[in-house]
Structures are given as structure tokens and as C-alpha cells.
Structure 1
Amino acid sequence: MTAHNGVGDSAHTEMSNADRSQRGGTSRHASVEPYLTGCAWPPGQGAVYPRADPRDFSRLPIDTWGTATVPVGVRLEFSGAARAVQIAYRTKTADLGYRGDGAGTFFAAYQGEKFISYADAMLGDGMAVLDLAEADESLPVTVYLPEGMKPEIVSLRATQGELLPAPKQPRWICYGDSIAEGWSASEPALSWPAIAGRVHGLDVVNLGYAGAARGEIVSAEQIAALDPPAVISVNHGTNCWTRIPHSATMMMAGMDAFLRVVREGHPGVPIVVCSPVLRPDAEETRNKLGATLEDLREAIEDVVVSRRERGDRDLYLVRGGGVLRAEHLADGIHPGDEGHRIMARAFGDPIAERVTRE
């Protein structure tokens, strides 16, 4: 593919004060914007690529907003012919928390399921150079960020060629908990939403909130206020078992209310609910309110079936209980790489089947 009017050797410009956003003192280079995907909200409240609405952050639980400041799933996508791409960036932290290196310590280029190249990231200002010699010029390239380091992309520059923003893909809003966020995949590109997004050509907006995502109505309202996506998925429940215990009755009422709010904002948009995958220590263990994870899973599934029976034919259920086995869980709770690959098929395939494509 011969590219034109894109980012080339002569198109590299530095960030100026005039480029800085007025929201929260964050900044985003104007020339980078067309290449960024996975972003649903503008910068604000100190987050360059927030995964919740920064104008409404004060109504969210603090754990939800905290993880929403990590740019999970935000990536660069481009087409064109270039020998390499130079990515100027700055990172805010080297503290990767529970995820460790799996939170991302390098930039990685992929085309579909094919890995192309990577470049290590450093704390502070840096330049990552990704070799694109093995890339297929006829296909878009996706570059995953060292998201755990909270990077900001300052500029892009092609080497021996030019880059174009990749064609826009149908948008997928993926709401969930730490498993949707990518725990414990070995790198951001190997989370199940990332894999499914690449395989099916979807612009996944990852709203996986680790330790949070309990079906808060604020999150439902924020999703409902977005421009209509091609598909929405909902995959939470584990944190309703123990972190903030729910009874089965609470789970049913909360899920019904969450879906009602999202549906009011997006009539006709397919919504796929994926009930929780296996968690051995929770399946038959009762929480403080007497519910096992099996009880909560059944409550979620009953709500979806009931809402379909009441007329929401754009609502779909994927039962998660039998998707994974204990050996697929890296720490007894979160899937490892093989588990994420399995989920990308078990959850990602039916989500992609429901996509509204123009």
C-alpha cells in the first residue's frame, strides 16, 4: 500500500504549550489524535486518556476512578508503508502494582494475531522505535502502550515512508472488572478484549475496572451518554461477591437497573452480557450476605433472560461459568495467557457476531 498525506519524515512536529488541553492540565499532540484509538473521553483530572468521564469523576467510587486513570486498551493504529515508526512519549510511573510487568513495560506492534516488534519503555521522556520491516503494508498496524506506566504519546514519525491513520472500526464498549482490564495476561496486547478486538476488527474501548466494576449506575449513565457504539458488552460480578458483598437479590436489582440505564441511552444497540467465569474459591463459598458466586452468576443470567422475554431482543447472554477451568487461572482468580485466548473466542466471537456494521 502506498501511503500519502500521513505522518512522514517531514511531518514530525514537537509539542508546544498551545497544544496543551485545558482539561486538568493534560496535553495531547494534535498530530497524534487521529492515530489514537480506544479513547472515549477527553483528557481531564490529571488523566491523559481517561476510561471514565473526567467531568463526572466525583460521582464514581474512588477505586473505579483510580483504575480509570490507567489507559488500558488505548493504542495507536496506522496504515501505510514505513521502515519503522518513532514514538516520542512520556510516562508517569514505574509502579506497576499487582499486574507487574503484565501491566506493560514496552510498546508492542501487532497485525491481527501476528506480533511484529517491540521497544522497551523508560520512566519519563523517551523515544520508542518500532521496526516495521516484517509488517504487511496492506494491513493496519496496532501499537499497544506500556499502559501501567501511564504514558502520554507526544508525537509520531515514520522512517523511510509515511503513515496514515487506520480506517475507523466499529466501536465496542467493553465494561467489566479486572479480567476485562487484562489481569493476569503477560502483556496488554494479550488480554481477551485486545485479542478479540484485533481478530474481529473492532475499536474496543476497555472499561475494565480492576477491583471495582460492580454495576454502578454512574458507569451505566456514562456509557449511556456516549455516541452510540456498534456493540456493548457487560462482564462483571466477581467484585460483588467479596469486595463489596451483594446478595443474589441485590445482584438482580443492580444488573436490571444497569441494563435499563444503558438501554435507555442506546436503544437498538446490541448488548452482550457475559456472566462471570470460574473462580474456585467463590463458587460455593457464601459471602457476608449469604451469596456464592454461583448464586450471583445465576442472578445475572436470570435478569438477561427476563429482559429478553419482556421484549429487549437486542440483549444477549453468554454464560461464563463453563468457559475456563482451574488450570487456566494464573493466580486462582485471573486467567493467564491461555485463559485470555479462550475468553477471546468464548466471549469475543459472540460479541463480534452482534456488531452493527455499516
Structure 2
Amino acid sequence: MTLTTTRPTPDLLHGAAEVETTARGLRPQRLPAWVGRQFPDGQLLAMAAQPSGVRLALTTTATVLEVDVHPLRMAFRGVHRARGALDLVVDGVLVASDVLTGGDALVTDLSTGATALEPGEPHTARFALPAGASTVEVWLPHNESVEVLALRADAPVRAAAPRGRRWVHHGSSISQGSNAATPAGTWPAVAARLGGVDLRNLGFGGSALVDPFTARVIRDTPADLISVKLGINVVNLDGMRLRTFVPAVHGFLDTIRDGHPTTPLVLVSPLFCGIHEDAPGPGSIDPSSFATGQARFAANDDGARTHGRLTLRVIRDAMASLVERRSDDPHLHLLDGLDLYGEADARTHPLPDALHPDAATHQVVGERFARWAFGAGGPFAG
């Protein structure tokens, strides 16, 4: 069998803000470059370079497809972190997954803070495709940056059209997919497949902080459906007080409405997280968990509840009141995060690191969001 090599082009990549041309290939970015120039925060830019929700989308009659990528992952010495993966979705159905090997690693020693780059080799994924014409998506890893180097197939590949209505979602590491097993298994990806929509994932680990530049990105992004999930990062950073949080969310929504005045817009409050339900932040990794190989998070709570310090319960109440006060916006909807993952769920599906859902829970959350949003009478129905 003869495979023909194709150099990737930006039109093959869906779900990215921009596509950077590197010496080796193409690196998708989930935020436009102007954000990094305005606010060059290392955490935010590292998360934006991890292509959660970004996929190669093509049509082909090929029966074999190979994809060469060069990963760059963030790792912690002595702590296990699952590798990223490439997922194959054919005509809307997840059919295969290939776990990444090789690539470069930026390794941090949590006890000293020292970081070193460990180089590695590219990774090749080989997928078997069904006979006949297909719409094929290769979902790039949600938790590792990658450069797409080359495609090889036994028939021509062409860029596919976007799949359905355009859904833009913003949230934290949970929305980006932390602790999901594969990129098509993050809860927004699950919900997008069930809803038959074209996902643009703006979930950024540690960085759903009601940033005005993120609101501007959403304002300027073509969208038929928008959702914004806020709260957990504001608490675990201890980044705001109630007095500043509520006006900031109003401003965030006002900016989105400048570009999307009547687009269905869902504001999602935080999922249940026991360590921050009643304890303010900041939160951090518990040092005693380093030796276990499974990092766990904890709230650094000093017991103070004064001056409007935020907990998840306070934020949920504030967001509900905020939506009521915006009753002049008939296209704004509130989804209580506890309806996606509540206290009872924490007993049956505990958070493995005390902060992020596991792979099975991502599936549950995605299914619940899809039923609520895309189901009959839901704000995204139709």
C-alpha cells in the first residue's frame, strides 16, 4: 500500500484561534497572539498552547491515515501524569485513540522549583479508516502542546466544512479537560458530539479568571451558542472578593453581548468541590501528596470569612442573583453547576486529586450538559 504525504495546512485545523508556523510544522494556538502581547502570563499561554478541542478535520476515501506530531508536555518529577492522546472521530463517532509517546518534556521538580527541558522524538499515529467517503477528525491532545508535522494517507485528503452550529465555551482546567483520559473525552467534547455542534474550547487551566481579554476574544469569535463557566479559579487563586467579582462578571457578559447581542448565552456556576465549598482560597498542591505519585489539592484556609471572601457556595448565590438582575436579557440562562456534578456525585465519583473530575465523570458531566442545553426546551435546542 502506498501512502502519499501531505503537509498540513491551517484550513485542516478546526477549533484554533491562530495557527503558528514553526520550523517543523504547524502549532495551533487557542488564543490570538495579541492576548500574549498584552498579558504574557506563563500559565495562561501554556494552557492556550495545549489544543483542547482542536482537531484536524478532513474528508477522504482513505482506508489508512497516519499523522506525525511533535508533542511538548509539562511534567513533574516523581509525579505520574497521564500522557496526551490523538483521538479518531469518524462521521461523529469516536472510533480509536492513540496515546502519545516521545516528544519534548518540560520537567519541574516540585521540591525545588527547578525546570529542565528533556528533548524527544516525534510521534506517529496510524489509524485504520472505514471504506468509502468519510468525514474524519483527529482530535489533538487536551493536555500537551503539539506541532503537526505531516499527514500520510492512501487517498487524497481535503479540508472538511465545520460540523453544525458553532459553540464557544469558556471555563477552567475542568473545561480544558484535566484528568480526562483523551481529548474527545473532555466533557465539552462529549457534549458537542451529542449536540452535533462545532466546538471552540476556551477552557484554560487555572485561568478562568473573568479576564477582560477573554471576553473580548469571545466577543470577536463567530458563535451560534456561547457558554461561560466561572468560579473555581477565582476561589482557588483567592483572586477577588464579592465586591469585585460581581461587577467583573457583569462586565464580562456586557463585552460578550457587544458582539453577540442575541446569541444564546449560558452562565455555568461551579461544580461541587469539597475543599472549596466553604473554604476560601488560595488553593495549592498538598506537599504531603508528592510521595504518593498522585498530586492532590487542598485549600490554604485561614478560617477567615470576612470582607467578602469567596467560596463556591458564595459564588453560586452571587451568580444566580446576577442573572436575575439581567432579566432584560431573554437569551441569558443560568446552569447551576451542582446539576452537572453535585455533592452526591462526589461520593460515587470522587475527584481523584480533590479538584478535577476523572475520565468517567467527564463523560457524565458532558451527557448532563447535553441533555440540559441541547434537549427539548433547552437554550441550545434546535
TM range (shorter): 0.7 to 0.9
What is the CA–CA distance in structure 2 between the aligned matches of 1:326 and 1:119, rounded to whole Å? 28
Equivalent residue of 1:168, what SS? Answer: coil
**Corresponding residue of 1:3:** none
**Corresponding residue of 1:315:** 332
Which of 171, 181, 187 matches 2:182?
187
Q: Give the superposition deviation at 1:306.
A: 1.8
Alignment of 1:97-112 (within 5 A): 101-102=81-82, 104=84, 106-111=85-90, 112=92
For 2:368, the aligned partner's letter is A
Contact 2:94/2:184 (8 A) holds in 1? no
**Corresponding residue of 2:70:** 90
Contact 2:171/2:228 (8 A) holds in 1? yes
Report the CA distance shift for 1:136/1:252 in structure 2 as closer, same or farther (over 3 A): farther
Matched residues, number:
326
For 1:12, the aligned partner's letter is T
Aligned sequence identity (%): 26
What is the CA–CA distance in structure 2 between the aligned matches of 1:222 and 1:305, rounded to whole Å? 25
TM-score for the superposition, normalised by structure 1: 0.81
1:302-357 deviation line (CA, Å, top 9, x unaligned): 212221x1x11111111112432213222221111221112112223444454487
1:80-113 deviation line (CA, Å, top 9, x unaligned): 322110113223x243459965451x32213445
Alignment of 1:37-76 (within 5 A): 37-43=14-20, 48-60=27-39, 62=41, 63-76=43-56
Equivalent residue of 1:199, what SS? Answer: helix
Report the CA distance shift for 1:178/1:258 in structure 2 as closer, same or farther (over 3 A): same
What is the CA–CA distance in structure 2 between the aligned matches of 1:199 and 1:74, rounded to whole Å? 17
Alpha carbon RMSD of aligned pairs, Å? 2.9
Equivalent residue of 1:229, what SS? Answer: coil
Report the CA distance shift for 1:38/1:139 in structure 2 as closer, same or farther (over 3 A): same
Contact 2:87/2:94 (8 A) holds in 1? no
For 2:268, the aligned partner's letter is C
What is the CA–CA distance in structure 2 between the aligned matches of 1:354 and 1:190, rounded to whole Å? 23
Contact 1:108/1:144 (8 A) holds in 2? yes
Comparing 123-132 with 41-50, greater Cα deviation is found at 41-50
Which of 121, 126, 129 matches 1:129?
126
Report the CA distance shift for 1:225/1:97 in structure 2 as closer, same or farther (over 3 A): farther
TM-score for the superposition, normalised by structure 2: 0.76
Comparing 268-277 with 107-116, greater Cα deviation is found at 107-116
Which of 169, 173, 186 matches 1:174?
169
Which of 240, 250, 261 matches 1:246?
240
Comparing 165-174 with 266-275, greater Cα deviation is found at 165-174
Select the structure that is richer in strand: 2
Unpaired runs of at least 5, structure 1: 1-7, 15-28
Unpaired runs of at least 5, structure 2: 104-120, 282-303
Q: Give the superposition deviation at 1:198.
A: 2.0
What is the CA–CA distance in structure 2 between the aligned matches of 1:77 and 1:223, rounded to whole Å? 22
